[in-house]
Amino acid sequence: MQLATLPVLVPALLALGAFTGFCAGLLGVGGGMMMVPFLTLLFTALGFPTEAIVHMAIATSMGTILFTSLSSVRAHHQRGAVRWPVVLALAPGIVLGGMVGGGKVFAALKTSWLSLAFAVFVGFSALQMLRSRRPVPSRQLPGAAGMLGTGGVIGFLSSLVGAGGAFVSVPFMTWCNVPIHNAVATSAALGFPIAAASVAGYVWSGWQMPGLPSGSVGYIYLPALLVIVAASMLTAPLGARTAHRMDVGQLRRAFAVLLLCLASYMLWKAWQAF
């Protein structure tokens, strides 16, 4: 990295970290899908190897979730909003799915059709939340096998796009009649096992990748990671406090708007890939 880039680079990364940390606390998301386009642009400008840029952006983004999830979940836990039995039921599947997705699958998989499928799913979830359709009152979270499978899907998909999993887990929990505040708080807690498993896979799959820049550990670029984390851990508790001041309708609409933005991003990624 050239010293001339630092006066612009560091403030930009601090601003990105502050924004994504706030979103992590407010909506239970790690900010991954918002972070990846910015990091892709940044790594391109820094002249990183073309074939590794998107992989590094996704991996570095997920690495930040290790820290933002801890900061935001502490604030949610203090308010008694995290449903820890749900976290424990989903975590084993999340770890398995995250390690599979973040490993060699991450390094090899073409994402065009996957991006398109994500966009359709996330967009549909957003429209359902905007319509405020109430789930069937009798619907509950599935049993142990269902939670293991759901966790596997959440971990696998999250590891492929560098997201904390809330784009899947919050709609899933609200569909199962978990109140939105609890769903957001619980998704924040799920961010840590998702990130831990995925990061292990990113380090392993990128360890022998030739030509990665100095400061990389596997596909993770540590200088960007550290600057983003420094800002995001300060703002994540603020986002969590803001979430608990909002009523259910406001929080559902905010999350739905975010989902629509993510769906648009995934459509753009699919278009590029095709």
Spans in the chain with pLDDT lower than 70:
1-8, 24-34, 102-118, 121-122, 125, 128-129, 131-138, 161-165, 247-249, 251-252, 255, 266, 269, 273-274
C-beta atoms surrounding 207 within 10 Å = 12
The token duo for 255 is 């999350």
pLDDT of residue 3: 38
- What is the tens place of the pLDDT at every residue in 11-36? 888 888 888 777 766 665 555 666 77
pLDDT of residue 110: 57
10: Cα separation from own chain's centroid: 22
The domain tally of the chain equals 1
105: Cα separation from own chain's centroid: 18
Q: Is residue 24 a contact partner of residue 191, using CB atoms and an 8 Å limit?
A: yes
Of 237, 171, 172, 229, nearest in space to 195 by CA: 229
pLDDT of residue 20: 76
Question: For 127-160, b where at least 16 C-beta lie within 10 A, e where not — what string?
Answer: ebbeeeeeeeeeeebeeeeebbebbbbbbbbbbb
pLDDT of residue 2: 43
- What is the tens place of the pLDDT at every residue in 94-112? 888 887 776 666 666 555 6
Q: Is residue 53 a contact partner of residue 211, using CB atoms and an 8 Å limit?
A: no
SS3 assignment, position 221: strand
Owning domain of residue 44: 3-273
